[in-house]
Structure 1
Amino acid sequence: MEEKKLDTNSLIGFLLIGAILLYMLWQNQPTPEQLAAKEAQQEQIDKNAEADLGTEAIDSNQNIALAQQKSQIGDFAYSLELPSAKDDFTTFENDLLALKINNKGGAISEVKLKTFVNYDSIPVFLVKEGTARFNLNFSTADNRTLNTSDLYFEPSYSTNGNNTVLSMKLKVSEDQYLEYIYTLKPNDHMLGFSVRSQGLSGTFNSNQAANFEWDLKALRQDQSITFENRYTRLSYEYDGDKTSKLSQAGEDEEDLENVSWISYRQHFFSSILVPDSPLKKARISSFDLVDDETIDTVYTKRYNTKFPINYAAGELAYDMNFYFGPTYNKVLEKYNKNLEGSIPFGWGIFGWINKAVFSPLYAWLSSFLSYGIAIIVMTIMVKILLSFVQYKQFLSQAKMKILKPELDAIRQKHKKDKMKAQQETLALQNKAGASPISGCLPGLLQIPVFYSLFMFFPIAFELRQKPFLWVEDLSSYDTIAELPFNIPFYGDHISLFPILASIAIFFYMRMTTGQNMANQPVQEGMPDMAKMMKYMIYFSPLLMLFFFNNYASGLSLYYFVSNLISIGIMLVIKNYIIDEEKVLAKINVSKAKPKKQNRFQKKMAEIMEQAEKQKAAQERRKK
């Protein structure tokens, strides 16, 4: 085997390469002076983060990103060389709002409501870093498309009377720029916002409208994510005074015209876009972000709005406002923009009753009573007002009870002729003035009140975080016990007020439904009906128990008190007002008088008479 020898030329080559590498490393290492300068520069950058925005520096890593953007945006490269062109924020606040505006994009990156906290005693943020996108998209004369969210603005403050004004400028040069102007009044939830451009008519492609986009993920604020998400919704006003909304669940979108405002409602708080002049066109969308209500969810909905802004003489000029504050009609009404129309008072007559009656009534009561006592007092007032309805119902029940033996005799007499039995039954009820319909109609009058109050309590901002007895927050559920597991449709806790309300409903239904069934005459198929009604006596309170366990305790308190009062009114009417002997005497007098039939009764009699003739004809044909 031949012995391997070291190749002298190879050895020399490796040594030369190694020497070159060592020289390059030594040549490129920072000198002590450079290291000191770098440390000083870093210290200066850290200090400038808290200093005036006009003197802030750009760190070395960001220089690379800025250089890349500079090569892409051409005429707008000047904005990348501004001393404030870095990822920093400009603060902006008054007594009610604390805002942060990101220099990058000139956009609102944080909105904190100073006077409110959420269910976890943390300040309410309607916008936080990463939850909102605020962008103006436009085309340039050389067919490039730019997004302001990618570009850097230079901030500057000024005042206009008592108002604070923040200007964010995206500059091409000192006298050519795109400007966002934010105006904040003292002690106000409304933020003025204007888009302006100067000297850019030759830069914009004015044949294509600029497009404004506002995207927001709604942060959770309430204890019950189920309850909050049900009342978190996008609503809007269009064509002057018409209001509408997107779907509460799932995903929904719509193209709008002539839009006065767009509300991103987050139950008790709202972010509302209010343009100075109606938007000619807009596209809105909503997406439900709650996949599983049993886990700790951070967000409820995602909202998006896009609309075009047209050029005037080649420049941009558009004014709008943003409302950031409580979804409270007392606050919203002062802007005279019908913003309170974003509150779900209910449709039609239900909304009218809430806005005209219950909302001002409760506001007045709660001005001198505790919020829980105000609910009880308002409930008593409503029940007293509707007590005549219960009187009519019980009077009808008393008449049916007295007539029951005669009605049973009629059905026994005409066992084989149901049509004849029905005719005589109606005739007797008509003479006695004891039609079952007369007992139902007064009950229908309670439905608008019942539904209006059902809509009112969940959206009553006055109840938010107000305690009563063992309840910490009347706008949320009360908890007397935490469960180590989650029950579907019920939750992982036990609330006491829904239990009390369910018990009261059970006894109320047992008194009313049971009595109604006992007063009904015996007829075929009746046992099945009685069994179904008996099940309803138990099913309705159980449904109440499950449905309201995650609802506002103020609503459960109302139902509890309301049914207790109804039971009391029933007992008073039954035992002290309605005298069955007097009722019987009136029935006998009414039966003795010739009874004139109304149009409906005549029509029913004709129909039944015609049906009897047809039945008789069919029997003759069979024979």
Structure 2
Amino acid sequence: MEEKKLDINSIIGFVLIFGILMYMLWQNQPTPEELEAQEEAKQEQVKATQQTEEPDQQVHITSTELPLGETTDSLQLVNMQNKWGAFAYSAMNSSDAETSIENELLALKFSNKGGYLSEVKLKEFVDYNDKSIYLIKENNANFNINFGTTDSRILNTKDLYFEPTISKNEDHTIVSMKLKVSETKFLEYRYNIEPNSYMIGFTVRSQGLNDVVNGSQDIVLDWDLKGYRHAKSISYENRYTDIHYEYEGGKDDYTGASDTDENIQDVSWIGYKQHFFSSVLLTNRPFKTVRIKAENLVQDEDVDTLYTKNFAARIPLELEGGEFNQNMDLFYGPNDYKVVTTFNRNLDELIPFGWGIFGWINRYVFMPLFGFLGSFLPYGIAIIVMTILVRIVMSPVTYKSYVSQAKMKVIKPEITEISEKYKDNAMKKQQETMALYNKAGVSPMAGCLPALMQLPVFYALFQFFPSAFDLRQKSFLWAEDLSSYDTIAELPFRIPLYGDHVSLFPILASLAIFFYMRMTTGQQMASQPTQEGMPDMGKMMKYMIYFSPLMMLVFFNNYASGLSLYYFISNLITIGIMLVIKNYIIDEDKIHAKIQENKKKPKKENRFQRKMKEMMEQAEKQKQVQKRK
């Protein structure tokens, strides 16, 4: 067989093939940018491997479900796959753009990165500087689902790219943000924006991810928010800035203004309340457990602080058949009783009306009354009219209290006489004093009970005015905003507890309280019998005349001017009522004559009085026996 030799043509062919291969290798070598991307991909892969339970396990990446175009660079694809695994499809088809949607009340922006609301503006309101109210803006909020994948990755939706789709009809607008593995496999955030509503329908659902998401690992939703400052007094706003929530099928509670870190169970909604505005996450299927945190961000009130508090909620989620399926709602709006009650979701608990009877009085008496008056009167005048009506309704209680004090004043000489007669026998003195009260038809507690009856009304109004949304940015006389403090002078320095300004309404309220207490304290001292220990009591009551107005002057300097206006008018009216009662209604001579008549009438002791008398007599006998021994 003839041996084939390597001729010149073969040599030329091999050289050409070698040259072509070298040229192809040179043409396809990675650029410096691609080399850098490749290095980042390797680092990401090392990190992902370190997070797995088995460090030796290798991550296998497939791209069978990524129908990318022919122009997609292979190295970029590898980088995306290394970073986001199966969700690289969305990363290759999305960008850092935002989607803007509005209705009559809200202006919203949705970010492709993270798929969540990146901006929420309340179109009808402005803050104390006449700037628009934003509940979400410039990365002050975070909404993230942390989950593991079947290829041993730990992913955060805030770092992944969603694809937006908008559909509109006459009733509402749907914004769909999809985090895609492919066109048929995705995680979706679905927002339903209705006209003229602060409530946004929100659903987290998935399709075809049961072989992508690792259901055996914890899946956690993190919802964080830093509350923007909206009011002139940040300390006053912060006092009413906290977390409210509903749990166990209708119960409600709140954390209070202090820092908190607690776990709550069976939660229907969580509200980040910022005095007059709230951000609320509601769910149709209650969260089994939620960890909530609130942290005060105001370190120095003299500094122009941007944020009030930092809120956080950590919520474990459960899959249904390996898929996400959580129907929720988002409320971004005012803590206006007329607004929150329209949703029938118990959101009126965001308004701190008070517990028990105090809340009942505010909801069913003062709120409807003030709403009615405010519908046709300026709000400052509405406060005055409501205060007058309240004082008129409470005037019978004031009358009874004053009459009781007058009766005690009339029989004071007789009580003093008993005290002198039995000054060495306390038991006998008490027996005779009680007998005198019984014969005269006078009760020392009669003056206290009317005052106690007024406490629920006073406390309810104390809660009502700082929570009345209608007072926000409503002016009256020199007060620019009845929901904040009024200012007649700015101080060049800050006084501890008082502030750096002078408010007039607290000064007027303090003066009214001073004169009211002088009247009532003088009447009480005149009605009290002179006995041991009473001089010290008299001094204490005199101190209270000055102490209470001083407390009002200091602490109410930063409170809502509407509340100070109420106290000023209320005490003025009370003083007027007491003067009328004293000068035109009560006749002490007639009261004295009636008491004398009562003393002549036989008095039938009730069971309690009889028992008390027997106990006192028995105690007196025992005392006498001990003296004989």
* 2:532 match: 524
The corresponding residue for 1:322 is 330
CA contact (8 A) 1:282 1:307 kept: yes
Measured after TM superposition, the shift of residue 216 of structure 1 is: 0.5
1:412 aligns with 2:420: yes
3-state DSSP of counterpart to 1:378: helix
Match of 2:483 in 1: 475
Amino acid at match of 2:475: P
Q: 1:64 to 1:121 in 2, by over 3 A?
A: farther
Greater shift in the superposed pair: 294-303 or 97-106: 294-303
Instruction: Give the aligned partner of residue 264 of structure 2.
Output: 256
Change (3 A) 1:201 1:614: same
- AA aligned to 1:148 is T
Distance 1:597 1:511 in 2: 35
Aligned to 1:221: 230
Structure 1 residue 564 displacement after superposition: 0.3
Task: Give the Cα–Cα distance (whole angstroms) in 2 for the partners of residues 276 and 512 of structure 1.
Answer: 55
* Unpaired stretches in structure 2, ≥5 consecutive residues: 1-30, 33-73
* 1:469-510 deviation per Cα after TM superposition (whole angstroms, max 9, x unaligned): 111000000000000111111100000000000000000011
Out of 96, 99, 111, the position equivalent to 2:105 is: 96
Structure 1 pair 593–66 and aligned structure 2 pair: CA distance change class (3 A): farther
1:201–1:314 contact (8 Å) kept in structure 2: yes
Q: Structure 1 residue 165 and structure 2 residue 185: aligned?
A: no
Q: Is 2:501 aligned against 1:493?
A: yes
* Alignment pair present for 1:233 and 2:242: yes
Of 252-261 and 552-561, deviating more is 252-261
User: Could you say which residue in structure 2 is the equivalent of 1:205?
Assistant: 214
AA in 1 matched with 2:223: W
Aligned to 1:38: none
Measured in 2, the distance between the counterparts of 1:292 and 1:427 equals 61
AA aligned opposite 1:607 = M
Secondary structure of 2:487's counterpart equals coil
Deviation at 1:129, TM superposition (A): 1.5
Partner of 1:432: 440
SS at match of 2:342: helix
Question: What are the Cα deviations for residues 568-594 of structure 1, in whole angstroms up to 9, with x where unaligned?
Answer: 000000111111121112101111111
* 1:369-421 CA-partner distances (Å, limit 9, x unpaired): 11001101111111010101111111111111111111111111112112211
CA contact (8 A) 2:115 2:189 kept: yes
Could you say which residue in structure 2 is the equivalent of 1:569? 577
Separation in structure 2 between the aligned mates of residue 188 and residue 108 of structure 1, nearest angstrom: 16
Taking the aligned partners of 2:153 and 2:351, their CA distance within structure 1 comes to 42
Match of 1:152 in 2: 161
Write the letter of the residue equivalent to 2:257. Answer: Q
The 1:297–1:608 alpha-carbon spacing in structure 2 relative to 1, beyond 3 Å, is: farther
Contact residue 246 and residue 253 of structure 1 kept, 8 A: no
Whole-angstrom distance in 2 between the partners of 1:285 and 1:390: 46
- The alpha-carbon distance between structure 1 residues 112 and 64, as it changes in their structure 2 partners (threshold 3 A), is farther
Aligned amino acid, residue 351 of structure 2: I
Shift of 1:65: 11
Residue 138 of structure 1, CA deviation: 1.1
C-alpha offsets along residues 428-454 of structure 1, whole Å, 9 cap, x if unaligned? 112111221011111111000000000
Alignment of 1:556 with 2:564, yes or no, is: yes
1:123 is aligned, of 106, 109, 132, to 132
Aligned residue in 2 for 1:76: 87
In 2, the alpha carbon distance for the partners of 1:234 and 1:600 equals 49
Report how many residues are paired. 558
Which residue is 1:182 aligned to? 191
Please state how far the C-alpha of 1:68 moved relative to its aligned partner.
5.5
Report the 3-state secondary structure (helix = DSSP H, G, I; strand = E; otherwise coil) of the residue aligned with 2:557: coil
Q: How does 1:324-343 map to 2 (within 5 A)?
A: 324-343=332-351
Shift, 1:64, TM fit: 11
Stretches of structure 1 lacking an aligned partner (at least 5 in a row): 1-27, 30-62
Q: Say whether residues 1:113 and 2:122 are aligned partners.
A: yes
Give the secondary-structure state (helix, strand or coil) at the position aligned to 1:455. helix
Q: 1:412 to 1:264 in 2, by over 3 A?
A: same
State the match for 1:347 in structure 2. Answer: 355
Q: Residues 545-604 of structure 1: CA distance to partner in whole angstroms, max 9, x if unpaired?
A: 111110000000000000000000000001111111211121011111111223333333
**TM-score scaled by structure 1?**
0.87
Which position in structure 2 is the counterpart of 1:308?
Answer: 316
Q: Counterpart in 2 of 1:541?
A: 549
Change (3 A) 1:615 1:195: same
Report the Cα distance in structure 1 between the residues aligned to 2:572 and 2:532, rounded to whole angstroms: 35
Q: Please give the secondary structure, in 2, of the residue aligned with 1:286.
A: strand
Question: Share of identical aligned residues, percent?
Answer: 61
CA distance, structure 2, for counterparts of residue 68 and residue 454 of structure 1: 61
Q: Is the contact made by 1:66 and 1:80 (CA closer than 8 Å) also made in structure 2?
A: no
- Does the CA contact (< 8 Å) of 2:174 and 2:190 recur in 1? yes
Deviation at 1:543, TM superposition (A): 0.4
CA distance, structure 2, for counterparts of residue 447 and residue 392 of structure 1: 15
Match of residue 40 from structure 2: none
The CA distance in 2 between the partners of 1:573 and 1:163, in whole Å, is 62
Residue identity in the other structure for 1:186: P
User: Could you tell me which amino acid in structure 1 is paired with residue 430 of structure 2?
Assistant: Q
> After the TM superposition, which of the residue ranges 307-316 and 483-492 deviates more from structure 2?
307-316
Q: Is the 8 A contact 2:512 2:571 kept in 1?
A: yes
Q: Secondary structure at the match of 1:115?
A: strand
Distance 1:70 1:211 in 2: 23
* Aligned counterparts of 2:457 and 2:358: Cα–Cα separation in 1: 8
Deviation string, structure 1 residues 458-477 (Cα, Å, up to 9, x no partner): 00001000011111000000
- What is the CA–CA distance in structure 2 between the aligned matches of 1:531 and 1:65, rounded to whole Å? 86
**Measured at CA, do residues 439 and 599 of structure 1 come closer, stay the same or move farther in structure 2, by a change above 3 Å?**
farther
For residue 370 of structure 1, the aligned residue among 369, 378, 384 is: 378
Give 3-state SS (helix, strand or coil) of 2:589's partner. Answer: helix
Q: Match of 2:274?
A: 266
Describe the superposition over 1:114-171 as per-residue Cα deviations: whole angstroms up to 9, x where unpaired. 0000011000011112211110111111232110001111112112442111111111
- Counterpart pick for 1:613 among 599, 621, 625: 621
Name 1:284's counterpart in structure 2.
292
Residues 433/276 of structure 1: CA separation in 2 closer, same or farther (3 Å cut): same
SS in 2 for 1:119: coil
Find the aligned partners of 2:609 and 2:383 in 1 and give their Cα distance: 43
Instruction: Describe the superposition over 1:337-384 as per-residue Cα deviations: whole angstroms up to 9, x where unpaired.
Output: 111122111000000100010011100010011100110111111101
SS of residue in 2 equivalent to 1:385: helix
Instruction: Evaluate the alpha carbon distance shift between residue 69 and residue 352 of structure 1 in structure 2; reply closer, same or farther with a 3 A threshold.
Output: farther
**Tell me, what secondary structure is at the counterpart of 1:277?**
strand
CA offsets 1:273-299 (integer angstroms, 9 cap, x no match):
111222222222212222222322221
Deviation of the 1:95 alpha carbon: 1.0
| CA–CA separation in structure 2 for the residues paired with 1:265 and 1:103 | 27
Q: 1:4 is matched with which residue? A: none
| Between 607-616 and 492-501, the greater mean CA deviation after superposition | 607-616
- Secondary structure in 2 aligned to 1:311? coil
The 3-state SS of whatever aligns with 1:438 is: coil
Q: CA RMSD in A?
A: 1.8
User: Could you list the per-position Cα deviations for residues 498-532 of structure 1 after superposition, in whole angstroms to 9, with x for gaps in the alignment?
Assistant: 00000000000110012101221110111111001
289-298 vs 269-278, greater mean Cα deviation: 289-298
1:77-97: CA deviation from partner (whole Å, max 9, x where unpaired): 112211x32x23211211111
Aligned counterparts of 1:601 and 1:447: Cα–Cα separation in 2: 28
